[in-house]
Structure 1
Amino acid sequence: MKLKKLSLRTRIFVAMILLVLLSSILIAVVAIYQYNEETQDYHKQRLDRKEIAIIRSLDFVIRETSFPVTTENVPLIFKMKIYEVSEVHNIQINLYDLEGSLLISSKAGLQQATEKCLEPNVLNTLSNTAEHRYEERRVEDNETFRSSYRYITDSKYKDLAIINLPYLENDDFLAKELNEFLGRLLYTSLVVMLMAVALAYFLARYITKPIKAISEKMNATRLEKRNEKINIQDTSEEISTLVDSYNRMIDELEESAVQLATSEREQAWREMAKQVAHEIKNPLTPMRLTVQSFQRKFNPEDENIHQKLDEYSKTLIQQIDTMSSIAGAFSNFAKMPAQKNEMLNVVEVVDLTLDIFNENYITFQSDKKKIIAKFDRTQLIRVVTNLIKNGIQAIPEGRQPKIVVNVSEENETIKITVSDNGIGVSEENKPKIFEPKFTTKSSGMGLGLAMVKNIVETYGGTITFVSQKGEGTTFTVAFPIN
C-alpha cells in the first residue's frame, strides 16, 4: 500500500511508531559501537598496565640476580621468577633473544615448533620505530588475543631480550552488561511505543478533527444552494488560514452563483420568448389569411353565406385550439408542481399508468411485484407517460407498434426502461434529444423528454438511451431508492 494513499491519521500513527522504532535501533547501534570501542580501550589499557608492572618485576629480578646479565643467561636469570611473575599478573610471559628465538616461557609444555621464532615484521617494527614496541591482535579457536612485544634492558639500558605478553581478551563481563542494557532498552522502547501510540491517537484526533470538518463542508458545497461557512475555534495557524480561504471562496461562489443564475434566467426567458413567439406565429398566419379571405368574399346576399361562415369559424377555432395547446405545453414545462413525496410501489404505479393508453401492443414486465421508493406519484406518472407517448409517436405508419415497459431493481437502484420499435434516433440528433424545443415530429413542442430529464435529475437519477436507426429505441431511467 502506497504511503500517499494512507489517511493523515494513519500517517501520524506510522510516523510516531517509526520514530520510536528508529530511535531505539539507533540507540542500540550506538551502544554496541560504544561497547566495542570501550572494550578495545579497556583491553589495550589493561595490557599496557600489565606490561609496565611485569617489566618492573623483571627489572628487579635483573638487578638482584647473581648471574652475568647477558642474553644467553636469560633462561637462568628467570628460571623460577618468570613463573611467579606470570602467576601474580595472570598472564603468559615469553622471552625471546634479539634475533627472535624463544629463550623461556611461563607456559608449561610450550611447543617450540609453533613459537620458535618471531616473525620478521615484529623484529623490523621493534628495531625501526621510536617506541620500540609492537602490538597485534589475532583470533585463535574463536578466542581473541592481543600480544605486545618490546625490549627489556639491563641496568645500562642495553637491549637484553624481547618480552612477549599474549593477553586473552575476555569480554564475558562486558558482554553481560551490554545484554542487560539492550534488554532494558527493549522494555523502555516498548513502553515509549505504547505512549507514542496513545499520543499519536490524541494528536491525530486534534489535527484531523478540523480538517475533517473542512472536508465535510467542502463535500457539501453546492452551487445551487446557500453554503454555510466554517467556524472553528482554537486551531493552528495553518488550519485557520485554510478556513479563511474556504470562507472567502464561499462568498465568491455565492456571488458568482447569483450572477450565473441571473444570466441563465435571462437567457432562458429569451429562449422561451423566442420559442413562444415562433409557435404562436404558426397558427396566427392561417387565422389572418382566413379573416382576410372572409372580408373579401363576404356577401350578405350570398345564399351560401352561413355555410362559408361556419367553415371560417371552424378554421379559426382549430387554430385557436392549437394556440391553447402550445400555451398548455409551455405552462406544464415551466410550472413543475411542488414535489409531494410518498412511499410508493413503483411497480404498481407504472402498471396502472399503462391503463391510460389501453393499447394491446404495450407490454409491462417486472421481476418483482413490489419495489418501494420515495417518489412523487404525479411526476412518476408524467415520466412514464411522456416516454410511452414518445415511443408511440416514433413508430411509423404501416408498422405493427410494440412498446415494452420494464421495471427492475439493481444495487439499490430502480430502473424503468421503455423500448419501442420505431424509426430510432439518428447520430446527428442523439446529442440534442433532451434539449428543450427539440423535436423531429411535425407536431409537439419538443418539451416531453426535457421535462422527463428535469424530473429524473431532481431525484438524483439519470436518463439514458440506446437507439438503432430503423429498428427502435430504449430509454432507461435510473434513480436511487431513498
Structure 2
Amino acid sequence: MPLTKYKGYSFRNRIFWAFLTICLLSIMGTSALSYFVLKSNSIKQSRTQLQIQSEASMAYLDYAVSHQQVQTGDLKNVLENKIYEISDINKHDVILYDLQGDYLLSNKDENLILQKKLPLGILNKVLRKDKRVDIESYDEKNKSNVTSSYLVLKNNMLVPIAIVYLPFYHSDGSYFELFNKYLNFFIILNVLLISFSVWLSLVMSKQLTGTLTKFSDLITQITLFEKELKPIKYFQNDELSSLVKSYNKMILQIQNQKEHLSAIEKEDAWRSMAKQVAHEVKNPLTPMKLTIQNFERKFDCEDPDIHEKVKKMSQSMVSQIDLVASVATAFSQFAQLPDKNDEVINLNQQVKEILYIFSDENIYIHANQTNIELKIDKIYLSRIIINLVTNAVQDKVDDRKSIINVDLEQINKRINITVEDNGRGIPATMIDKIFEPNFTSKNTGMGLGLTMAKKMVLEYGGDLVVTSDEDRGSRFTVTFPVNV
C-alpha cells in the first residue's frame, strides 16, 4: 500500500514521538533525582563522619585534662605530647587557642600555623553558643573543601579553658567517583531501555495506525452501489472494538436502508413504467378503433373498391399492432438488463469495433493512450456507446455537416469516454430531464436510450453527465473508475 502523505505530523509519528518523549523525560527525571539523592547522601555521610571525628578528638582531649583541675596556662604542659597522639589517631590536625583567641599549641610546627589568632566574630560565636561551630571554606592550595570546627574545651570542673580548632579536609571527588560509576551503569541500562522503547513505540504505532488505516479504507469503499457491505472482523477487546461495533452497526443500517430505498425506487419505477406503457399502448389503439368504426360505418359489399379498402385497413391495423409490439419490446429491455460477463478489454479497439455500424457518419476517435484497459461486459459497453452515438447522430442539423468526436482518456484512476457532436444541442430547460425514462425531445422513440445508458454506467460505479450549448452541440461524458 502506498504511503499516504499528510500535512504536518501523521498520527503514527505523533504516537511515536509522544511515547519516546515520555521515556526520555522519565529517564532524565530519574537521573536528576539520583544525582540529588546521591549528593544529599554524600553530604549527610560527610557530616556524620565529621561529627564522629570531632567527638572522638574532644573525648581524647577531655580525658587528658580530666585527671586534675587544669587551667588555660597548664595546657601546654599537659597536652604537649598527647596532642600528637590525638592527631595521629584521628588523622587530622588539632589546634588550641586560649579564650582570647590567641594560639596556644598544635600538633603542627607553630610556623606552619597560618591563623595565630581567631577572628573576633568566630570567638564570640563559639563562646556564646557553647557548642560546635562549623565554618565552610575552600582551600585553593589543596583544591579541597575545608570544614573548620570550633569547640570549647572544659576542665574537670566544666570551666572553659580553651578553644579547639579541628580542620577537616574533604573533597567531592569520592562523591563524583561514586556518581560516575553509577552513571556509567545507568547510561548503559537506559540506552537499552531507549532502544527497546523506540522499537516498542514503532511496533505499537504501526499496529494502531495500521488498524485505523484498514478501517479508513473500508469506510471509504462504502457506496450506495456496493452490492454487499462487508463487516470488519476485529477480535481484540479494546477501545477500537467500540469503533468496529459502531461501523458494523452502521453498515447494517445502510444495507437495510438500501434495501428499503431499492424497494421504493422499484415500486416508483414500475408505476412510472406502467403509466408510460399504458400511454404508449393507448396511442395506437385509438386510431385502430376509429379506423374499424369508420370502416364498419362505410362498409358496402357492392362497392367495387371494397377489396382495396380492406387491404388498406389491414395494413393500417398491422402497422399499429407492430407499434404496440415495439413498445412492449422496448420496455421489456429497459425493465431488465442482461447478466454481466465482465472481462478485461482494450477499450480503444473495442470502441472502434462498436462504431463500425456508423461507418456512414463522420465519427472521429481520439485517445491519450494506445491501450486503455477496462474490465466491463462487452454488451453493456456496446449498448452505452451505441445509445450515445445514436443520440448524437439524431441530433444533427440538416444545413450543417455533422461531426462526432469520441475521446478516450485515462487520467490517474479514472477512465473517460466522451461523445461530442455539433448538432442542435439541448435546451437549458430540458437538460435536467434528459435521463428521465419517459422523456424525449424527438418525434420518434420512447426516451429510454439515455436512461438505459446511465443505468448501465452506474452498474460499474461510474457516472454519465451531459453539457450542451443550444445550436452548437452536446457533450456526453462517461466516467469509469480504473478496475484493472
**TM-score, with normalisation over the residues of structure 1?**
0.77
- State the one-letter code of the partner of 1:134: V
Report the Cα distance in structure 1 between the residues aligned to 2:123 and 2:355, rounded to whole angstroms.
117
Between 1:421-430 and 1:216-225, the stretch displaced more is 216-225
Corresponding residue for 1:5?
Answer: 11
- State the one-letter code of the partner of 1:36: K
- State the one-letter code of the partner of 2:381: L
Report the Cα distance in structure 2 between the residues aligned to 1:433 and 1:101, rounded to whole angstroms.
121
Unaligned runs of 5+ in 2: 1-5
Report the Cα distance in structure 1 between the residues aligned to 2:112 and 2:400, rounded to whole angstroms.
123
Match 2:56 to one of 44, 53, 56: 53
Corresponding residue for 2:478?
Answer: 477
Report the Cα distance in structure 2 between the residues aligned to 1:394 and 1:291, rounded to whole angstroms.
37
Corresponding residue for 1:454?
Answer: 455
Does residue 349 of structure 2 align to residue 348 of structure 1? Answer: yes
CA contact (8 A) 1:394 1:424 kept: yes
Secondary structure at 2:72 match in 1: coil
Corresponding residue for 2:177?
Answer: 176
Report the Cα distance in structure 2 between the residues aligned to 1:376 and 1:456, rounded to whole angstroms.
11
Report the Cα distance in structure 2 between the residues aligned to 1:378 and 1:372, rounded to whole angstroms.
16
Report the Cα distance in structure 1 between the residues aligned to 2:310 and 2:259, rounded to whole angstroms.
55
Report the Cα distance in structure 2 between the residues aligned to 1:430 and 1:200, rounded to whole angstroms.
57
Unaligned runs of 5+ in 1: none
- State the one-letter code of the partner of 2:336: K
Shift in alpha-carbon separation, 1:431–1:37, aligned structure 2, 3 A: farther
Corresponding residue for 1:42?
Answer: 45
Does residue 378 of structure 2 align to residue 389 of structure 1? Answer: no
Instruction: Report the identity percentage.
Output: 32
Secondary structure at 1:452 match in 2: helix
Query: Pairwise CA RMSD of aligned residues?
Result: 4.6
- State the one-letter code of the partner of 2:285: L
Alignment of 1:228-247 (within 5 A): 236=237
Corresponding residue for 2:153?
Answer: 152
Between 1:87-96 and 1:440-449, the stretch displaced more is 87-96
Secondary structure at 1:54 match in 2: helix
Shift in alpha-carbon separation, 1:227–1:81, aligned structure 2, 3 A: same
Between 1:204-213 and 1:466-475, the stretch displaced more is 204-213
Secondary structure at 2:444 match in 1: coil
Shift in alpha-carbon separation, 1:289–1:50, aligned structure 2, 3 A: same
Deviations 1:351-402 (A, max 9, x none): 1222211234211122444334333222211111111122233444433322
Deviations 1:227-264 (A, max 9, x none): 6677777x548787777777766766665554444333
Shift in alpha-carbon separation, 1:244–1:342, aligned structure 2, 3 A: closer
Secondary structure at 2:358 match in 1: coil
CA contact (8 A) 1:465 1:473 kept: yes
Give the count of matched residue pairs: 472
Deviations 1:396-432 (A, max 9, x none): 4433322101223333543322112234455555554
Alignment of 1:226-305 (within 5 A): 236=237, 256-300=257-301
Between 1:442-451 and 1:222-231, the stretch displaced more is 222-231
- State the one-letter code of the partner of 2:390: K
Does residue 31 of structure 2 align to residue 28 of structure 1? Answer: yes
Measure how far apart 1:440 and its partner are. Answer: 3.6
Report the Cα distance in structure 2 between the residues aligned to 1:97 and 1:312, rounded to whole angstroms.
158
Shift in alpha-carbon separation, 1:429–1:6, aligned structure 2, 3 A: farther
Does residue 137 of structure 2 align to residue 134 of structure 1? Answer: no
- State the one-letter code of the partner of 1:268: A
Between 1:240-249 and 1:274-283, the stretch displaced more is 240-249
Between 1:376-385 and 1:26-35, the stretch displaced more is 26-35
- State the one-letter code of the partner of 2:49: R
Corresponding residue for 1:464?
Answer: 465
Measure how far apart 1:477 and its partner are. Answer: 2.2
